[in-house]
Amino acid sequence: MAGFVIKQASSKLRIEELLKVIAEINATKGNTVQVFDPDMIIDEMHLAGAYMNAVAGFKSHTNISKNIATEMMLFAAMTRQINEAIRLVGAKSNRKFVLFASTPSAFNKVKKVLDHVKEYKVSEKHSRDTSKKFGINAKKDFDLFVLQRMAVSRL
């Protein structure tokens, strides 16, 4: 994916502390880091699409939130409500989450507070089962339906 870093990770920090570190990184121009519940992320394209939609939203001034990381979470959750997005797709635990960083540089800034980091790989079964949680009952082409749902969430 175009320079993005998407990993499965854990942190020694409590989730609240981790989110504070991420907020500091996100305050630096050009960096976007966000953490997600692995049980609610369909695949890498789900996150890439959410990020690209968030960036486009800021460029066109149609953003709902004040930063790209939160806007990305809104798109990933396919909702317009920040609290609902956090509840649906936000990381629930410091022991297992999916980490998205917009650049390798942003990833290197957060890496120092991460514990275990491994490649983020999902099975087709995971993608299919997770898609159903969003009301997407596709047998294939999950990514197309996910991107369509993200777009519709803004209408």
CATH number at residue 147: 3.30.2380.10
CA distances from 128 to 57, 60, 116, 131, 138 (A): 28, 32, 26, 5, 7
Assess contact for 111 and 117: CB atoms under 8 A.
Answer: yes
Within the chain, where are the H helices? 15-26, 44-59, 68-77, 82-89, 104-111, 124-133, 142-152
Structure tokens at 15: 């989730």
3-state secondary structure 109-133: HHHCCEEEEEECCCCHHHHHHHHHH
Instruction: Give the CA angle between residues 138, 142, 145 to the nearest 5°.
Output: 80
In this prediction, residue 30 carries a pLDDT of 86
Rounded percentage of the chain residues whose pLDDT exceeds 70: 95
> What are the pLDDT digits (tens) for 94-124?
999 999 999 999 999 999 999 999 999 999 8
pLDDT digits (tens, 9 = 90+) for 47-76: 999 999 999 999 999 999 999 999 999 999
For residue 131, what are the domain limits? 5-152
Query: What value does the mean pLDDT take over residues 131-144?
Result: 78
What would the mean pLDDT of 138-146 be, rounded to a whole number?
Answer: 72
Report pTM.
0.90
Biggest distance spanned by C-alpha atoms of the chain: 40
What total number of domains does the chain contain? 1
pLDDT of residue 2: 61
Higher-confidence residue: 26 or 137?
Answer: 26
Q: How far apart are CA 145 and CA 140, in angstroms?
A: 9
